[in-house]
A and B are shown apart, each in its own frame.
Chain A
Amino acid sequence: MSATMQLEENVVTRLQKGNQQSFEEIYDKYSDSLYGLILRIVKQEDLAQDILQDCFVKIWQKAPSYDPSKGTIFTWMLNICRNKSIDSLRKTSREKTDNGIELERLDTGAENININTIGLKDILNNLSDDKRQIIEYLYFKGYTQQETADELDIPLGTVKTRSRGAIRDLKEYFTLILAFWISKNI
């Protein structure tokens, strides 16, 4: 086990025992990513901040039942944040009948990604549109595969292959990001 993982485990163990200091460490380390994710889903800053607060309270509350054998604490927290955001999204979209606005938002969604500072936009664009769309619907909009197939008017099998392909592509995509980052920083 690597040193960082061990360190992380200690932070997590302390968090599980109710240590507020370690909660703050976790906040410092992950709040940017979690907030980014929530913002990506709900697309409103006020709402995203409320959800982030709710999520961190839940993370604190439920920390003792987090089971490291099932995945990293990051994945565990991502799930909490994603579920809460999608719940809230469903609530607001049920209230709102006009889905024209929503579609417009979807189109610009990819551009909102906060990677401009490191200039990675081009690389992100490498992930082909149809695969990005699949991630958008499945992960960020919380659609089921069937709902995604209906919405995009493509066969269910295509949704399955593309969602597989999208994750496979991410693998190459991160190699690119890493290479890019190294070339910029070293």
Chain B
Amino acid sequence: MDIKEYIASGILESYVLGSASSQERQEVECMSHIYPEIKDELVLVQSQLESYIKTLAVKPPEALKSKILDAIKSVEQDAKETYNQPNADEKKGRVVEMNTTQNSGNANFFKYGMAASIAVILGLAVFTFNQNLKKGELENELASVKSDVDMIKDELTASSKKYQDSIQLIAYRENILLNSETQSVTLAGTGNSPESNVRVFWNKSSSEIVVVKDQLPLAGKDKQFQLWGLVDGVPVDLGMLADNELITNPRKIDLEKVDAFAITLEQYGGSPQPNLEQLYVIGNT
């Protein structure tokens, strides 16, 4: 059995605090008899409570002492009960006289028979208890393995779904890029960033675009590139571009006509109007 678990169950504390049921009390007494570790822990918990009680000490009135000492003078001590530890000389060797008469033979048979039965029952009780503990341990272990397996299954399902999704997305994007109706617009670098170069693939029939950043610096902290469509000289917000995305996912645009695409550097999250001083690339359709 797992002694640590037994100790950790708190049963010893409830035994010491007097809140254990009589069945639990018997169990603790039996277990601490069998397992020295449990006995040690029990003694420890008892001594902790003893120390606590000592802090509550109050001196009783002096007169009470003599009253009590008087009181016991007229009280006989109970005889030692037989089930308690025999005293030292008794321990050294006690010879049980065998009685040969029929009657007491039966009585002895009955007595020893009872003792043997009780021993067997006790033994069985301890055995069953141990078996139950072992069974409990195995059940716990099985449950934890099962939950591990379930967790791994879930993870696997999730990641394979993610994988399938991204394959679908790539196929979808490829469709747009390779579609004969898709127009490729090259956005060339401005004076701010002459080496920058971005392509926008625009499929008019599905109103979708894919942005390919061939060359564009990182936006940096607290900044983000924003894509604009110019329609009759008016800039229309087409969303933000993430630094880590070299080819964007297809995105819908609600425009039938776009004169030019442009990208500006804006505060993180974008601006309602483009900051033309931070224009990085622009290209006519």
Contact = CB atoms under 8 A, between A and B. Distances in A.
A160 B68 CA distance: 39
A65 B19 contact: no
Interface string B85-97: 1000000000000
Q: For chain B, give the interface size range.
A: 35 or more
Contacts of A48: 60
28 contacts: A20-B69, A24-B69, A27-B69, A33-B56, A35-B57, A35-B60, A37-B53, A52-B68, A53-B68, A57-B72, A60-B77, A61-B78, A65-B84, A67-B84, A74-B50, A78-B49, A113-B56, A114-B58, A138-B14, A142-B18, A145-B14, A163-B10, A164-B10, A164-B13, A167-B45, A167-B49, A170-B51, A174-B51
A32 B18 contact: no
Interface of A: 16, 18, 20, 23-24, 27, 31-33, 35-37, 39-40, 48-49, 52-53, 56-57, 60-65, 67-72, 74-75, 78-79, 82-83, 113-115, 120, 124, 135, 138-139, 142-145, 148, 160-161, 163-164, 166-167, 170-171, 173-174, 177
B75 A52 contact: no
Given A33-B53, A39-B58, A72-B50, A139 B18 contact: yes
A39 to B, nearest CB: 5
Contact of A135 (B17, B47, B77): B17
Contacts of A35: 57-60
A113 B55 contact: yes
Nearest to B69: A24
Interface in B209-266: none
Contacts of B133: none
A31 B75 contact: no
B17 A163 contact: yes
A181 B103 CA distance: 68
B206 to A, nearest CB: 59
Nearest to A60: B72
B53 A36 contact: yes
A178 B79 CA distance: 41
Given A36-B57, A57-B71, A167-B16, 10 more contacts: A32-B57, A32-B60, A52-B68, A61-B78, A64-B79, A68-B85, A78-B50, A135-B17, A138-B18, A177-B55
